[in-house]
């Protein structure tokens, strides 16, 4: 099914392309480029392959360059209410600007500071929402929209005090990626354009507000907070969190926000953040976002981390007590280059965000913690990739995707992350590390504050790495093909080899005494549990549990894989802890495999539904929407 709206849009855009090209100018056409505040070139979509299928807006004709939010956050009504002012650049001198909205009430629209405007809501599309069409003239400078959010919002998570660490105050956070920003702000919901933003946010005086922008370090008695994001960003990176927050600095430009009762533990866990930023800069160039802070959210947060610029949003499940899960911070930090500085043009190019980020993340980890440590991370990633490839349909196995009529969140698989990583690791291998690093550094620098498609990247790769160094690489097979190509780099980990020997001994001797695990790190444990054999019995699981207390593990990664295997092997001494985990934690990456494992048998499915009935209200839309589908649950 093609959306009628979309068809018209594509048609209009193709007319635009034809007339544009008939001027005989090349794709670097000056009319279509503009200087951003930072003096960088930004290009509006000018050929069909760049058009974003996940917006109903006419961003290729007229686009927002700056957005100002003036909103109040009401916990009584579970509502954000206020106005957004869009500063426009009318590239094609059109008479209408279209914004994306989803589940928003539009209360009024004016232009240029108060002139009532004609506007209408277009046809609702289940995936993309409802376009808001506003009449303008080519001279219109700003459009102001009064609006409020509704219960149907997909971006916002409203938490009761009981769902927080402190249990006294409510909490709210937003999740914009991939196409959720339109359900808390009317925007042109595409990564293809970049905007600067400012905001004035009113919250209850007992709470503090923070955004992906310049942030306060203390509460103030008015409950009014002002924000500024002077670097242009795609709108999926607009983010807000409101709660009983405190701040602790880590070094001069890094720090952590979280609820008071968690602050000390979080600051301990994230102590290496400053070193990570320095290591990242040394690899691929200066950090261009001023500060780098992290907010550790309540456990309902549906992701491990979200790279909101200047302020990564993170799950509390990385606070393991031993700093063993901080690769996630390296990952979100790396997005400050891959993703936030150089952004995928459309969600079909998602691997350009995530594959590059995993590569960069592992280089940061290698420079801080060494090669052995990083090889373990890469090998766990390879295992994830193999599992995903065996489950994913062929069309979703290529790096470049075609997500028309699909939710871009479906692209969030290990294909983008790990196949992307191994492709870049292959390029490093054939070009040599020094050449590859110089290439990547230049890539970030030359594309900063811009968006890029897969096709543009491939061309850049050919011109700047492959041809100059006379390399032979099967780029098309990696980028457009299914599966994992033959020449995927092989990772060897001596530490994992030792773990595998322990596993063999355990099954052969039937005794846990042969397992030499006293110096195992989290990653060795993950490798061990992942490699338990399919015919492991409940009594073997019980032996392992008795010696190593895995059911009680305070490490979320270890607990999650241990629970999954326990379900598979019918070891049900985990039931109490499993239920508690599923009720507390809303991170989709953990929930999906656990509910899937439970749902594999009729009794398990019953158990899953019983737990889900208690747990669902603790999950963000991103998670409950996925699990509703998985369990066939009708809310």
The one of Zn ion, ligand BES, none whose footprint includes residue 272, by CB under 5 to 8 A per kind, is none
The one of Zn ion, ligand BES, none whose footprint includes residue 309, by CB under 5 to 8 A per kind, is none
Write the burial class of residue 11 (CB in 10 Å: 0-12 exposed, 13-18 middle, 19+ buried): exposed
Q: What angle do CA 572, 576, 579 make, to 5 degrees?
A: 105
Helix (H) or strand (E) run with residue 461 in it: helix 454-461
CB nearer to ligand BES: pick between 335 and 419: 335
Inter-residue contact 174 to 155 (CB < 8 Å): yes
Residues that bind Zn ion (CB under 5 A): 354, 357
Smallest distance from the beta carbon of 82 to ligand BES, in angstroms? 25
Smallest distance from the beta carbon of 154 to ligand BES, in angstroms? 12
- Select the span of 305-313, 428-436, 568-576, 609-617 touching ligand BES (CB under 6 A): 305-313
CB nearer to ligand BES: pick between 144 and 418: 418
CB nearer to ligand BES: pick between 307 and 456: 307
Establish if 299 lies at the interface with ligand BES (CB under 6 A): no
Smallest distance from the beta carbon of 325 to ligand BES, in angstroms? 9
Smallest distance from the beta carbon of 215 to ligand BES, in angstroms? 20
Inter-residue contact 90 to 62 (CB < 8 Å): yes
Look-up: residue for tokens 């290009």? 43
**CA separation (Å) from 442 to 174, 283, 437, 446?**
33, 11, 9, 6
The one of Zn ion, ligand BES, none whose footprint includes residue 177, by CB under 5 to 8 A per kind, is ligand BES
Inter-residue contact 411 to 478 (CB < 8 Å): no
Among 81, 589, 605, 616, binds ligand BES (CB under 6 A): 589
Task: Report which of 235, 135, 223, 232 is spatially closest to residue 185, judged by C-alpha positions.
Answer: 235
Smallest distance from the beta carbon of 305 to Zn ion, in angstroms? 7
CA 623, chain centre distance (Å): 13
**What burial letters (b/e) apply to 473-486, b meaning 16+ CB within 10 Å?**
bebebbbebeebee
* Stretch 408-427: interaction string toward ligand BES, x if CB under 6 A: -x--x----x----------
- Select the span of 63-71, 279-287, 303-311, 481-489 touching ligand BES (CB under 6 A): 303-311
**178 preceded by cis ω (within 30°)?**
yes
- The count of other CB atoms within 10 Å of the CB of residue 542 is 14
The one of ligand BES, Zn ion, none whose footprint includes residue 191, by CB under 5 to 8 A per kind, is none
CA 371, chain centre distance (Å): 26
Q: Where are the beta strands (DSSP E) in 259-320?
A: 292-296, 305-306, 311-314
The one of ligand BES, Zn ion, none whose footprint includes residue 425, by CB under 5 to 8 A per kind, is none
Determine which one of 417, 443, 619, 621 is catalytic. Answer: 417
- Select the span of 217-225, 304-312, 493-501, 603-611 touching ligand BES (CB under 6 A): 304-312
The pair of three-digit structure tokens given for residue 449, joined into one six-digit string: 């504050």
**CA separation (Å) from 107 to 83, 110, 137, 145, 197?**
9, 11, 21, 8, 22
CB nearer to ligand BES: pick between 52 and 307: 307
Residues from 159 through 198 that contact ligand BES (CB under 6 A): 177-178
The pair of three-digit structure tokens given for residue 123, joined into one six-digit string: 């046809």
Determine which one of 332, 354, 456, 557 is catalytic. Answer: 332
The one of Zn ion, ligand BES, none whose footprint includes residue 604, by CB under 5 to 8 A per kind, is none
CA gap 440, 436 in Å, rounded: 6
CB nearer to Zn ion: pick between 246 and 354: 354
Residue nearest to ligand BES (CB): 304
DSSP state of 342: E
CB nearer to ligand BES: pick between 82 and 309: 309
What's the start-to-end Cα distance of the chain, in Å?
A: 26
CA gap 183, 254 in Å, rounded: 30
Smallest distance from the beta carbon of 414 to ligand BES, in angstroms? 9
* Stretch 246-265: interaction string toward ligand BES, x if CB under 6 A: --------------------
* Stretch 63-102: interaction string toward ligand BES, x if CB under 6 A: ----------------------------------------
Smallest distance from the beta carbon of 421 to Zn ion, in angstroms? 11
CA 52, chain centre distance (Å): 18
Smallest distance from the beta carbon of 306 to Zn ion, in angstroms? 8
Sorted by sequence, the CB contacts under 8 Å of residue 114 that are 6+ apart come out as 144
DSSP state of 490: P
CB nearer to ligand BES: pick between 110 and 340: 340
User: Kind of pairing, strands 33-35 and 41-43?
Assistant: antiparallel
CB nearer to ligand BES: pick between 508 and 629: 629
DSSP one-letter string for 570-592: T-GGGHHHHHHHHHH---HHHHH
Smallest distance from the beta carbon of 606 to ligand BES, in angstroms? 29
State phi, psi for 189 to the nearest 5 degrees: -85, 65
Look-up: residue for tokens 């609006």? 147
Residues from 329 through 388 that contact ligand BES (CB under 6 A): 331-332, 335, 354
Q: Please list the residues that pair with 338 across neighbouring strands.
A: 342
Among 209, 210, 328, 585, binds ligand BES (CB under 6 A): 328
**CA separation (Å) from 340 to 237, 253, 361, 444?**
8, 18, 14, 10
- Select the span of 14-22, 328-336, 426-434, 574-582 touching ligand BES (CB under 6 A): 328-336
Smallest distance from the beta carbon of 305 to ligand BES, in angstroms? 5
CA gap 300, 159 in Å, rounded: 9
The one of ligand BES, Zn ion, none whose footprint includes residue 178, by CB under 5 to 8 A per kind, is ligand BES
The pair of three-digit structure tokens given for residue 219, joined into one six-digit string: 């509460």
CB nearer to ligand BES: pick between 178 and 343: 178
Smallest distance from the beta carbon of 353 to ligand BES, in angstroms? 7
Look-up: residue for tokens 């090998």? 379
In the residue annotation, 417 being an active-site residue is answered as yes
CB nearer to ligand BES: pick between 253 and 589: 589
What residues make contact with ligand BES under the rule CB under 6 A?
Answer: 177-178, 303-307, 328, 331-332, 335, 354, 409, 412, 417, 589
Catalytic center residues: 332, 417
């Amino acid at each position: 099914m093609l959306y009628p709206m979309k068809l018209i849009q594509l048609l209009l855009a193709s007319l635009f392309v034809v007339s544009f090209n008939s001027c005989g100018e090349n794709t670097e056409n000056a009319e279509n480029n503009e200087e951003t505040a930072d003096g960088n070139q930004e290009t509006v979509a000018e050929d069909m392959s760049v058009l974003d299928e996940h917006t109903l807006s006419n961003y290729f004709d007229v686009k927002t360059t700056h957005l100002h939010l003036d909103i109040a956050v009401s916990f009584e009504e579970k509502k954000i209410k206020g106005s957004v002012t869009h500063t426009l650049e009318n590239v094609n001198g059109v008479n209408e600007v279209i914004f994306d909205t989803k589940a928003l009430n539009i209360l009024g629209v004016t232009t240029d500071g108060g002139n009532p405007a004609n506007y209408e809501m277009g046809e609702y599309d289940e995936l993309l929402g409802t376009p808001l069409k506003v009449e303008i003239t080519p001279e219109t400078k700003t459009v102001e929209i009064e609006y409020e959010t509704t219960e149907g919002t997909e971006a916002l998570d409203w938490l009761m005090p009981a769902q927080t660490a402190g249990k006294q105050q409510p909490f709210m956070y937003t999740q914009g990626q991939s196409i959720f920003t339109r359900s808390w702000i009317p925007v042109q919901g595409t990564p293809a354009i970049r905007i600067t933003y400012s905001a004035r946010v009113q919250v209850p005086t007992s709470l503090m507000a923070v955004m992906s922008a310049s942030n306060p370090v203390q509460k103030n008695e008015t409950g009014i907070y002002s924000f500024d994001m002077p670097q242009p960003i795609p709108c999926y990176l607009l983010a807000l969190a409101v709660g009983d927050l405190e701040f602790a600095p880590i070094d001069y430009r890094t720090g952590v926000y979280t609820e008071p009762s968690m602050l000390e533990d979080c600051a301990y866990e994230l102590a290496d953040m400053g070193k990570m930023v320095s290591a990242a800069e040394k690899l691929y160039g200066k950090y261009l976002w001023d500060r780098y802070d992290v907010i550790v959210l309540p456990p309902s947060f549906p992701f491990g981390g979200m790279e909101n610029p200047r302020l990564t949003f993170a799950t509390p499940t990385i606070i393991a007590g031993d700093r063993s899960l901080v690769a996630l911070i390296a990952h979100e930090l790396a997005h400050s280059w891959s993703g936030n500085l150089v952004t995928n043009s459309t969600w079909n190019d998602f691997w350009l965000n995530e594959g590059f980020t995993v590569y960069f993340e592992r280089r940061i980890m290698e420079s801080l913690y060494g090669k052995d440590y990083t090889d373990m991370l890469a090998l766990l990633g390879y295992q994830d990739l193999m599992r995903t490839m065996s489950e994913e349909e062929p069309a979703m196995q290529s790096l470049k995707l075609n997500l028309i009529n699909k939710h871009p969140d479906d692209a969030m698989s290990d294909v983008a992350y790990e196949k992307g990583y191994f492709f870049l690791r292959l390029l490093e291998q054939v070009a040599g590390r020094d050449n590859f690093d110089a290439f990547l550094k230049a890539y970030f620098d030359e594309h900063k504050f811009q968006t890029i498609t897969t096709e543009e990247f491939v061309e850049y790769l050919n011109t700047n790495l492959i041809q100059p160094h006379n390399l032979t690489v099967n780029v098309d097979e990696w980028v457009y093909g299914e599966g994992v190509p033959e020449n995927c780099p092989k990772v060897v980990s001596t530490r994992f080899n030792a773990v595998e020997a322990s596993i063999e001994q355990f099954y052969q001797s039937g005794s846990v005494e042969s397992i030499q695990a006293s110096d195992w790190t989290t990653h060795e444990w993950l490798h061990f549990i992942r490699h338990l054999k399919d015919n492991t019995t409940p009594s073997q699981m019980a032996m392992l549990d008795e010696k190593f207390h895995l059911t009680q593990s305070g490490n979320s990664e270890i607990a999650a894989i241990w629970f999954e295997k326990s379900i598979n092997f019918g070891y049900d001494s985990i039931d109490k802890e499993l239920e508690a985990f599923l009720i507390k934690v809303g991170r989709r990456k953990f929930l999906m495999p656990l509910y899937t494992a439970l749902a594999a048998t009729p009794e398990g499915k019953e158990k899953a539904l019983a737990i889900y009935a208690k747990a669902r209200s603790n999950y963000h839309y991103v998670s409950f929407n996925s699990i509703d589908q998985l369990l066939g649950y009708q809310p």
